[in-house]
Structure 1
């Protein structure tokens, strides 16, 4: 025998009797504070009025003591303030009031509750049915019908039972409709996010294709021409051969970086982003490649321990871009690269002496912006500007500890 429905029924019974309530529903008037304040005042006056009417009805028809009549009247209207915030608590109070409402009734009465209490019972039932699960709703309906079968005249029991069942079904249909609409809205949102994601992937693929067709092609041609130039030109001096080899090596390295970038752009996952990235350990290779290209560079790097990978990558890229800027805007100038640890931060400085030529017709790019973004993303600082000696310096201070650079 499958005990799953039995367990579900027991769990629902425990929740009905003393279990946790359902999440509160925000008031539809919360967007209008003044209207909500007026509505609260009007609601409080309405509750007092309903309690007065109920107490007077009980005093006239049941001949109850004043205290007892007021107790039943308060139990009658007490569920209403809890309907939106605590539906199960509203029903529990209503059920207690439903039982107490039959107190001292005359045996000849066909209907043991006051008109106000009947109205409250119906409102609570349909509201609770629109908020709770079906298993909980079944127990709520069963408990609510018990006083009907016990205290209502037999000739009226069937009609009242049908009325309660219809209200519970209507409330459940409202709940199912709300859940369906919510599910459709979530599905539509997921579809929009998926479409946006596909649009981003398509744009990244287009960018990767353009980079491959334009930049990678030209870099390949530069590498091939540099490698074959000594053979096409006949006897070439050794320094020139070394320079051609350096040009070819730089082009090949640029192609490698370009292919890595294209892989990241084309990838739909983060796997490509986790491939090994350069760091401070690769700085000597970077400087050596720049020297082979004809630059005069002094490297002063004394870092006792490897910084976190993001910090090392940012430092490498800042030095790389700083050397590229010096080659473009101050060709032939002496460059000094300094990488030091200062009070827990990694200080990176690339400065040229300004004695080189400044080629005309080369527009500015986004190098400085990229360096600044790398430094700021790690919680560091970045400055760039001319030096007193007529050169140009870029400086970055990158934190090596804390949240921005965990060690």
Structure 2
């Protein structure tokens, strides 16, 4: 019954859904895959979450090399009538560097551009250039565009602009020596390479932007959780102030009235009681100053409501009745003697846990039947709140929850040295179970 269930709570699920609405899963995945590696020697997609995604660039590059290498050699030798040795050497120089583009696209681009330029110069004196594409044959354009994809996913905007301008300059210089009858493809490659660089650069920029958004949201979520935790601890401290202040006031009154209630007291004993009363009054003053700091303001009226008597197990019946009047069916099982058996800290914590649990039911499962059970067993208070599934589809009633519910439960349980188990049920409901020891209050170490 008390076995811990490690599942997301409704509040966490709603937070996760809200985060997913802000950063769609596809774009978040794209941000990881297209993340620019921090080190230049890292391959493309090195930060991808799956192994096949990290190997994909190598496989694609190898496919292009295996397909372009024989085609390049055959076209140069057969269509352009270039010697077989030169055709083989140029085919290797123009295609094999594509494998290097996966890890070092800029050096690969320099090698390919040099090989393509050398091929264009040699094609000027080839046996059959008239009527053929020059200075960039079709297979050269295909390989160059593959290289532009690798560069666009890795290079900065300055590098991409420099590569595009260099491509145009080389093509413009070669145009002055264009053979008669050849089809000039310099402008075609310049336009296509510019389009590919623009698209891949924009895609990479989108991935980087999504990555930065995800990192910022992660930081914001951590800060929000920390702020929520600190606010809840301050709230608990304010409530415990009333409990401790009550006992200190009783000590002060008893110490001051001891000489009148016990006549014939020796002077040293009177002085001892007077010292106890003075210490108690001084402690009360220190606690009031601490409470002022925790409230965050010095106005007495602002925190007047917090000086009301703190609720306990004895007021659970009123809490349940108020929840029922709000339209939430709730059944309360309160063991006889549970209201008076718990010390003040445990009494207050049990009430707040039930209060927060019912608030979560109203928020996340309106209309669901709920059972609240509070009992004392073997020196501890057992609190159990179980609700069934919502009767109808849940509509978000709040758009900006504070997230204090479960945080407050955990902090109160830690305060008393108990345990808290929360988790969904197989039928779609939810369960909150807390054990609060009656005689083993522990100090919060954090």
**TM-score, normalised via structure 1 length:** 0.51
Does the CA-based 8 Å contact 1:201-1:266 persist in structure 2?
A: no
Distance (whole Å) between structure 2 residues aligned to residue 141 and residue 215 of structure 1? 75
Alignment partner, residue 99 of structure 1: 117
Paired residues of 1:223 and 1:247 also in contact (CA < 8 A): yes
Match of 1:178 in 2: 207
In the alignment, what sits opposite 1:365? 440
Question: What is the CA-CA distance between 1:240 and the residue it aligns to?
Answer: 3.2
Distance 1:46 1:192 in 2: 44
Contact 2:58 2:99 in 1 (8 A): no
Alpha-carbon distance, 1:203 to partner: 0.6
What is the root-mean-square deviation in Å for CA atoms of aligned residues?
A: 4.0
Query: Following TM superposition, by how much is the alpha carbon of 1:138 offset from its aligned partner in structure 2, in angstroms?
Result: 1.4
Change in 2 beyond 3 A, CA 1:243/1:134: same
State how far apart, in whole Å, the 1-side matches of 2:234 and 2:101 are.
54
Question: Are 2:99 and 1:76 equivalent residues in the alignment?
Answer: no
User: Once the 2 structures are TM-superposed, how far is the Cα of residue 193 of structure 1 from its aligned partner?
Assistant: 2.5
Would you say 1:198 and 2:227 are equivalent positions?
A: yes
Higher RCO, Cα 8 Å, sep 6+: 2
Unaligned 5+ segments in structure 2 are 1-38, 297-436
Aligned-pair distance for 1:67?
Answer: 4.5
Query: Does residue 169 in structure 1 map to residue 187 in structure 2?
Result: no
Distance apart, 1:132 and its partner CA: 1.9
CA distance in 1, matches of 2:59, 2:204: 29
Structure-1 separation of matches of 2:195 and 2:60: 30
Is residue 26 from structure 1 mapped to residue 26 from structure 2 by the alignment?
no
1:126 aligned onto 2:126: no
Q: 1:227 to 1:102 in 2, by over 3 A?
A: farther
Is the CA contact 2:167–2:190 (under 8 Å) kept in the aligned structure 1? Answer: no
**Cα offset for 1:68?**
3.5
Number of equivalenced pairs = 257
- Alignment partner for residue 212 of structure 1, among 241, 248, 260? 241
Can you list the C-alpha shifts for 1:118-159, whole angstroms capped at 9, x where unaligned? 111112223312322222221111112222223356865444
Q: Is the 8 A contact 1:98 1:147 kept in 2?
A: no
SS in 1 for 2:134: coil
SS at match of 1:113: coil
Do the aligned residues in 2 keep the contact of 1:62 with 1:104 (CA within 8 Å)?
A: no
Partner of 1:47: 65
Alpha-carbon separation, structure 2, partners of 1:170 and 1:90:
20
Residues 42-94 of structure 1: per-residue CA shift (max 9 Å, x gap): 86465334322222322334454545433322222233323342232332233
Structure 1 residue 105: Cα displacement: 0.5
Contact 1:208–1:266 (CA under 8 A) maintained in structure 2: no
Instruction: Report SS of the residue matched to 1:26.
Output: coil
Higher CA-based Rg = 1
